[in-house]
Amino acid sequence: MDEETIKKYMEAGKIAKKAVELSKKIVRPGTSMLEAAQKIESEIIENGGQIAFPTNISINSIAAHDTAFPNDARVFKDDDIIKIDIGVHIDGYIADTATTISFNNNRSDMLKASETALKNALEIACPGANIGEIGGVIEETITSFGYKPVSNLSGHYLGQYTIHTGTSIPNIKTSTNVTLKEGDAIAIEPFATDGAGAIRDGSRATIYRFIQNRPTRLQAARKLLAFAQKSYSTLPFAARWVKDPQGFMLETALGQLVQAGALHEYPVLKEIGGGTVTQAEHTVIVLDKPIVTTA
């Protein structure tokens, strides 16, 4: 990885860190999810970054892939455990980071479990490290706190304008020959839960990604597909970002395009046992002395 690329990863990381710091100030009981998402994303743009994916705001047993939808009326409650997952890019070089926010010290041990698992994993994220062993460190750390890692969620490799390049960084010990290489860009993201230790797709989606052009007779669907291809050809977008169509026509267009294979939808991910989930995440450039871009 050349110096210019490292610089862009690091700049994206600095902006993502600022957005996380803002989230900790503005996410409070009574604040709306929509307002929080909009302020976090505005912070990214104002600091010179681009949004790599819609700000994920996932509460309690929802582990990931939730964000505010158009006219969302949801507000944060006193006992909520809130995962804020933020993506920033500079020229396609992505910083992916997450934190968990709790009010009144609620579930503090579970927060510490995911944070400590991340810290321990980062310490061994060097060239030659086996990714299955990294998963083992995460699993061992979380279970030592009396919780379970979410076994079917994982970290991932990052590519230019690509959030998931296909190889996962597991959150449990696995048998694999895959090792980290110098210059890899990866996101490590432990999830801890007091539930069953796995997630399933929920019944709704608020985040989508363009896949391919497909013929459609509905004008609203054609407008939406043109928007998705032009503005977010490889990166996900939120339904609330779409200005035209809106309302019922937006829902109809999204449904038709998903069914036609033109858009990929990201359903919210829910813990299968109804357990609460915490998350911690940083982006790392793998070198002899790893660079944690979002710390």
CATH 3.90.230.10 in the chain, residue ranges: 3-198+272-292
Q: Is 177 exposed, middle or buried (0-12, 13-18, 19+ CB in 10 A)?
A: exposed
Q: How confident is the model at residue 233 (pLDDT cuts 50, 70, 90)?
A: confident
pLDDT in tens, 161-203: 999 998 999 999 999 999 999 999 999 999 999 999 999 999 8
Annotated active-site residue 79? The verdict is no
Please report the pLDDT score of residue 97 as a whole number.
98
Catalytic hit among 11, 43, 115, 189: 189
Please report the pLDDT score of residue 151 as a whole number.
97
Annotated active-site residue 85? The verdict is yes
Annotated active-site residue 282? The verdict is no
- 3 state DSSP class of 221: helix
Least Cα distance to 172 among 153, 196, 194 occurs for: 153
- Give the number of other Cβ atoms within 10 Å of residue 284's Cβ: 26
Spatial separation of the C-alpha atoms in residues 30 and 75, rounded to whole Å:
5
Let me know: does 84 contact 23? Beta carbons within 8 Å.
yes
Please report the pLDDT score of residue 232 as a whole number.
81
Spatial separation of the C-alpha atoms in residues 99 and 83, rounded to whole Å:
6
Catalytic hit among 43, 96, 184, 265: 96
Please report the pLDDT score of residue 62 as a whole number.
97
Please report the pLDDT score of residue 248 as a whole number.
95
The CATH class of 205-268 is mainly alpha
Which one of 3.40.50.2300, 3.40.50.970, 3.90.230.10, 3.50.40.10 gives the CATH number of domain 3-198+272-292? Answer: 3.90.230.10
Let me know: does 269 contact 171? Beta carbons within 8 Å.
no
Evaluate if residue 230 carries a pLDDT over 90: no
pLDDT in tens, 260-276: 999 999 999 999 999 99
Element (H, E) at 284: strand 282-285
- Give the number of other Cβ atoms within 10 Å of residue 250's Cβ: 21
Burial call 78-95: b when 16+ CB within 10 Å, e when fewer? eebbbbbbbbbbbebbbb
C-alpha distances in angstroms, 101 versus 15, 79, 163? 19, 10, 23
Catalytic hit among 85, 115, 184, 194: 85
Catalytic hit among 65, 89, 156, 282: 156
Amino acid at 285: I
Sheet holding 81-90, edge to edge: 50-59, 81-90, 93-102
Would you state the structure tokens that stand for residue 74, as one six-digit string? 């949801």
- 50 - beta bridge partners? 89
Q: Please, what is the Cα angle at 236 between 103 and 93, to 5 degrees?
A: 90
Mean pLDDT of the chain: 96
Please, which residues have CB within 8 angstroms of residue 158's CB and are 6 or more apart in sequence? 94, 96, 165, 185, 186, 187, 283
Please report the pLDDT score of residue 169 as a whole number.
96
Query: Strand (E) positions, 105-180?
Result: 148-149, 154-157, 168-170
Let me know: does 195 contact 276? Beta carbons within 8 Å.
yes
Report pTM: 0.94
Let me know: does 142 contact 170? Beta carbons within 8 Å.
no
Evaluate if residue 104 carries a pLDDT over 90: no
- 153 - beta bridge partners? none
Q: How confident is the model at residue 231 (pLDDT cuts 50, 70, 90)?
A: confident
Would you state the structure tokens that stand for residue 181, as one six-digit string? 């290489």
Spatial separation of the C-alpha atoms in residues 106 and 98, rounded to whole Å:
18
pLDDT in tens, 106-130: 889 999 999 999 999 999 999 999 9
Let me know: does 283 contact 121? Beta carbons within 8 Å.
no
Spatial separation of the C-alpha atoms in residues 44 and 62, rounded to whole Å:
24
Annotated active-site residue 264? The verdict is no
Annotated active-site residue 281? The verdict is yes
Catalytic hit among 35, 164, 251, 264: 164
Least Cα distance to 68 among 57, 83, 60, 82 occurs for: 57
